[in-house]
Structure 1
Amino acid sequence: MSHPRSARGVLLRLKFNLVLLAIFVLSLAGAGVYYYRFLEQGAFGDVRHDSQVMMETALAIRSYTTDQIKPHLDPLNADRFLPQTVPAFAAVETLRRLSGRYPGFEYREAALDPTNPRDRATTWEAGLIEQLATAQAKAPRDEVELSGVHGTGVARAMYVARPITISDPSCLSCHGDPALAPPSMQKVYGRNGGYGWQMGQTIGMQIVKVPMLYPLEKARSTFYSFMLSLVAVFGLMFLGLNLALSAMVIEPMARLNRRLEELATTDFLTDLVNRRRFFERLAAEMADARVHGTSLSVVMFDLDFFKRINDTFGHDSGDRVLKHTAVRIRELLRSSDCAARFGGEEFMILLRETPIDAAMALAEAVRAKIADAPFEVVGTVSASFGVAEWNHDEDAHALINRADRALYQAKDRGRNRVVRASDAPVQRVLVPMEGSEGI
């Protein structure tokens, strides 16, 4: 009977773990989606911050060049044009030196019609300049800015772009009428580009690019560490809950089930198995004997004149006789045998792998054990026995009925004796499978 209890415990543990696993998977998926988005947004925020810092750095360089460098070098431009006096050139050249230490970081000033050919906008940049020009025209007093992600794979980068709009009339001295431009500048760059600009015109843009690879890789690494820590925590929690389940639920429940099983299958007075459990055991032993071709016998007996004992000495004395009879039976049985209180003063003994002659000898030993030693208060008590060997064809009821017939023959012959049952099978009429257990 331990297998069904064990199976119930395994089934309970399996259901518990499946529910726990489902909760963990759903929680892990939800936490993973939320935390990944959180880290990705954090990475975008870091890149955007770096982009803004780089843009402000470029503006600071431009401002410093205009205020501190250009006034000192402009007189030299009459003889030889110095591009270092151009704020855009100074910003681009200064920030370009970052690319050696910080690959992928880029600052560029792109124009639709530049003086310096290297500043000519690409097709993608030209599209951004047009968007910036449109936005600037709609809100001329606002600070216009575009940002987004450009490129794929390792070249994927976030960009921040601001329009370059002519707002200082001094710019037109070099980029207005070509005839008024410094000869030294025309000598370097020619007269084919960078002229004809007008006040309020958006001629290009400042754009910075910051690579997304490193922040996203950092975010992914953090995400994987976080998820592994969650799995580790769940593993410890899973182990702890299973130990707690075993200690607080499964084991107490198993002990309770064993106790209930004992109460359901044991006679409370004699501590022998009851009628229902005896039939279960008999069915199992018959199946085993049929498979292995072994012998199986049953001994049925009841105490002689037991009603007289109850009437004369009282039911308490009768109960003590039943208890001590059970004790005497156990002293003679093997661990593989099974003794049961079948009802009232009637007992059954199941003897596995035992032929009829050995069963008769065991029955005789039990008879002598009961009859030869007086019981307390009551004195000498005898019993009548019927013994039957299973013929591998009849069912359990037929086998017990043959033993029951032999028992009645023992009573008819004067009681306190053992009678061997007839080998002929009989109809199943006397002992029903179901019924109340006598006390």
Structure 2
Amino acid sequence: MNLKTRLNIALGACAVSAVLLAGLYMRGQLRERALAEVQREAELHMEAATALRSYTADHVRPLLNTDPTHFQVAAVPSFAATTAMHELHRRYPGVSYREVALNPTNPANQATGIHAEMVEALRSSGVDTIQRQTFENGQEMLYVAKPLRVNDAACLTCHGEPAAAPTAMRALYSDQHGFGWRMGETVGAQVVSLPMTVPLERAQQSLWQFLIGACAVVLTVFLTLNAMLRRVLLNPIASHHGELHRQAREDELTRAINRRGFLEAAEAALARARANGEQLSLAMLDVDRFKQINDQHGHAAGDAVLRELVRRVQSRVRGSDLLGRLGGDEFALLLPDASLDHARQLCAALHATLQREPYPHGETVGISLGVAQWQGGSEALSCLLARADQALYDAKRSGRGRCVG
């Protein structure tokens, strides 16, 4: 995996992590906002009910309770608030207001289930408000409850001792329930329940809009950073790396592949030939009496001879052939997919080209070549090199300036 791919993966992972973390944070914020919205709405309903209770107690009850022999239900604050809020909530589906008690006068107001649990929580904690979130019929509901405490002695007229209660009330509700209340006691609760479906759906829509926008921004930043890093960092690094790789494999003097690079490439070519059942040949060549050139004309002339030698070889061989400098004036020419006969013909023509024209120091140069063909099977590169080197030795021993193989 190259540096560019690794950097892209790292940037992509950072981008995805950033979007996920931002999404989780925004999800929490939007849910809190939705909950706060429902709480404000519940508070409004609660305040409306409380206002109705106060109005009934202060203005309606004195007008209706003029006949002690007749019990006016409309004069009861809880009845007035519950009835009015029920009418209001016809326009707010799912919203409800109830006043419940553990020992109510009207059995219809008996606290059960979550209502009873909230009343008990208010009685034990002494707080002014509690809330609960539940799932009912596939939707999330918010319950908000405030305590109903006996803070007015007038309440005990109807809820103290049964004998003190109005006869008409006992006749309507009996004297079995709603009595025995005490001053300061929390006897029940005002409970508003609201569905959270709509605010949560709005929060979900806002979350998706945020995520889409965040993804667009992150993608833009990612592509911009990617382009900038590629231009400022990756391309220079790749260029520098390529130059270092070239320098590590290239002979500085002649620009042919150096010994290490040649041996690595030859091993790879040998593996392909073995896998594909192909032929492969190799030629060894060097300059005859190269030391005399250096001694007579100087090392600069010798270097020029080697550079010209490489130029002439590379101008005549195939694109798949590979020339490497093994050291000094010794070179190796790898000939993939070439039989021994083909290699001999190529090297004979090459030999004539290398010796025909003068070199930079003004004289022709003798070149000796040794050719060998890979025998296939498990023969190693070292064996092939040794046989080609032996053929080169035979060329020199038989008079130099010739091709043997």
Both proteins in one fold, TM over 0.5: yes
Which range is displaced more, 100-109 or 113-122?
Answer: 113-122
SS at match of 2:372: strand
Q: For residues 309-328 of structure 1, give each alpha carbon's deviation from its aligned partner in whole angstroms, at most 9, with x where no partner exists.
A: 22222222222222222222
SS at match of 1:152: strand
Counterpart Cα distance in 1 of 2:309 and 2:249: 19
SS at match of 2:369: strand
**What percent identity do the matched residue pairs reach?**
38
SS at match of 1:156: strand
The aligned amino acid for 1:416 is G
Counterpart of 2:258 (choices 265, 274, 278) is 274
Q: For residues 384-417 of structure 1, give each alpha carbon's deviation from its aligned partner in whole angstroms, at most 9, with x where no partner exists.
A: 3333333336533333333333334333443333
Paired residue for 1:407?
392
Correspondence list, 1:220-239, <5 A: 220-227=204-211, 229-231=213-215, 233-239=217-223
Which range is displaced more, 82-91 or 386-395?
Answer: 386-395
SS at match of 2:93: coil
TM-superposed CA distance for 1:221, in Å, is: 4.5
Paired residue for 2:44?
53
- RMSD across aligned positions (CA): 3.5
Structure 1 residue ranges without an equivalent (≥5): 1-7, 137-143, 422-439
1:403/1:56 Cα in 2 relative to 1: closer, same or farther (>3 Å)? Answer: closer
TM-superposed CA distance for 1:263, in Å, is: 1.3
Paired residue for 2:128?
145
The aligned amino acid for 1:335 is G
Counterpart of 1:301 (choices 266, 274, 285) is 285
Asked if 1:360 corresponds to 2:344, the answer is: yes
1:259/1:160 Cα in 2 relative to 1: closer, same or farther (>3 Å)? Answer: same
1:97/1:273 Cα in 2 relative to 1: closer, same or farther (>3 Å)? Answer: same
TM-superposed CA distance for 1:215, in Å, is: 3.7
The aligned amino acid for 1:68 is H
Correspondence list, 1:354-393, <5 A: 354-392=338-376
SS at match of 1:367: helix
Counterpart Cα distance in 2 of 1:322 and 1:123: 101
The aligned amino acid for 2:143 is M
Asked if 1:108 corresponds to 2:91, the answer is: no
Correspondence list, 1:331-370, <5 A: 331-370=315-354
Correspondence list, 1:82-101, <5 A: 82-101=72-91
SS at match of 2:145: strand
SS at match of 2:56: helix
Counterpart of 1:161 (choices 141, 146, 150) is 146
Counterpart Cα distance in 1 of 2:222 and 2:309: 52
1:365/1:72 Cα in 2 relative to 1: closer, same or farther (>3 Å)? Answer: same
TM-superposed CA distance for 1:149, in Å, is: 0.9
Q: For residues 138-173 of structure 1, give each alpha carbon's deviation from its aligned partner in whole angstroms, at most 9, with x where no partner exists.
A: xxxxxx52412164333633221212304143x455
Structure 2 residue ranges without an equivalent (≥5): none
* TM-score normalised by length of structure 2: 0.82
Asked if 1:256 corresponds to 2:207, the answer is: no
Counterpart Cα distance in 2 of 1:128 and 1:349: 94
Which range is displaced more, 109-118 or 312-321?
Answer: 109-118
Contact 1:166-1:203 within 8 A present in 2 as well: no
Counterpart of 1:313 (choices 281, 286, 297) is 297
SS at match of 2:296: helix
1:109/1:164 Cα in 2 relative to 1: closer, same or farther (>3 Å)? Answer: farther
Q: For residues 103-122 of structure 1, give each alpha carbon's deviation from its aligned partner in whole angstroms, at most 9, with x where no partner exists.
A: 33222222344444433333
Paired residue for 1:434?
none
Counterpart Cα distance in 1 of 2:116 and 2:274: 95
SS at match of 2:267: helix
SS at match of 2:252: coil
1:152/1:261 Cα in 2 relative to 1: closer, same or farther (>3 Å)? Answer: closer
Counterpart Cα distance in 1 of 2:87 and 2:53: 16
TM-superposed CA distance for 1:95, in Å, is: 0.8
The aligned amino acid for 1:147 is I
Counterpart Cα distance in 1 of 2:201 and 2:128: 27
Counterpart Cα distance in 1 of 2:343 and 2:376: 16
1:334/1:82 Cα in 2 relative to 1: closer, same or farther (>3 Å)? Answer: same
Which range is displaced more, 251-260 or 51-60?
Answer: 251-260
Counterpart Cα distance in 2 of 1:345 and 1:247: 42
Counterpart of 2:311 (choices 327, 349, 369) is 327
Q: For residues 2-53 of structure 1, give each alpha carbon's deviation from its aligned partner in whole angstroms, at most 9, with x where no partner exists.
A: xxxxxx41xx455445545655566566555544444444343333333332
TM-superposed CA distance for 1:282, in Å, is: 2.8
The aligned amino acid for 1:161 is K
* TM-score normalised by length of structure 1: 0.76
Asked if 1:395 corresponds to 2:395, the answer is: no
Contact 2:147-2:186 within 8 A present in 1 as well: no
The aligned amino acid for 2:308 is H
Contact 1:338-1:351 within 8 A present in 2 as well: yes
Counterpart Cα distance in 2 of 1:352 and 1:110: 97
1:168/1:337 Cα in 2 relative to 1: closer, same or farther (>3 Å)? Answer: same
The aligned amino acid for 2:340 is I
1:124/1:293 Cα in 2 relative to 1: closer, same or farther (>3 Å)? Answer: closer
Counterpart of 2:53 (choices 52, 62, 73) is 62
Contact 1:166-1:202 within 8 A present in 2 as well: no
Counterpart Cα distance in 2 of 1:13 and 1:377: 48
